[in-house]
Amino acid sequence: MISCGLLQQLKEWWDCLIDIGPGLGYFPNAKKTWLVVKSQHYKEAVKVFKDTGVQISKEGQRYLGAAIGTDAFKENFIQTKVDTWVSELQSLTGIAKVEPQLAYAAFTFGLSKRWLFVMWTMENITTKPLVDLFSDQMIELSPEDSEKLRTSVTASKSMISNFKRAHHMQRLKGLKELIGPKKAKHVDNLCKKGTSAWLTSLPLEECGFTLNKQEFRDALHLRYNIPLKGTPTFCSCGQRNTLDHSLVCKKGGFVSMRHNQIRDLEATLMSEVCKDVQREPTLLPLSGETFNLRSTNVASEARLDISARGIWNSVDKTFFDVRVFHPGAESNKTTNIDMAFEQEKKRTYNRRVLEVEKATFTPLVFSTTGGSGNSDCIPS
Confidence of residue 135 (pLDDT cuts 50, 70, 90): low
Check pLDDT > 60 for residue 107. yes
Confidence of residue 352 (pLDDT cuts 50, 70, 90): very high
State the chain's mean pLDDT as an integer. Answer: 81
Every domain range in the chain assigned CATH 3.40.1350 = 255-367
In this prediction the pTM is: 0.63
Return the pLDDT at 140: 53
Do residues 126 and 83 make contact, with C-beta atoms less than 8 angstroms apart? no
Return the pLDDT at 245: 85
Give the residue from 199, 159, 189, 190 showing the smallest Cα distance to 175. Answer: 159
Confidence of residue 376 (pLDDT cuts 50, 70, 90): very low
Check pLDDT > 90 for residue 257. yes
List, for residues 226-253, the tens digit of each pLDDT value: 778 788 888 888 888 888 888 888 888 8
Return the pLDDT at 149: 52
| Average pLDDT of span 88-97 | 84
Confidence of residue 131 (pLDDT cuts 50, 70, 90): low
Confidence of residue 370 (pLDDT cuts 50, 70, 90): confident
Check pLDDT > 60 for residue 144. no
Among the ranges given (43-57, 134-148, 272-286), the one the predictor scored with the smallest mean pLDDT? 134-148
| Average pLDDT of span 18-33 | 86
| Average pLDDT of span 149-162 | 55
| Average pLDDT of span 3-26 | 85
Check pLDDT > 50 for residue 290. yes
Check pLDDT > 70 for residue 47. yes
Check pLDDT > 80 for residue 98. yes
List, for residues 173-198, the tens digit of each pLDDT value: 667 667 677 777 777 777 777 788 88
Greater pLDDT, 356 or 125: 356
Question: Which class does domain 255-367 fall in?
Answer: alpha beta
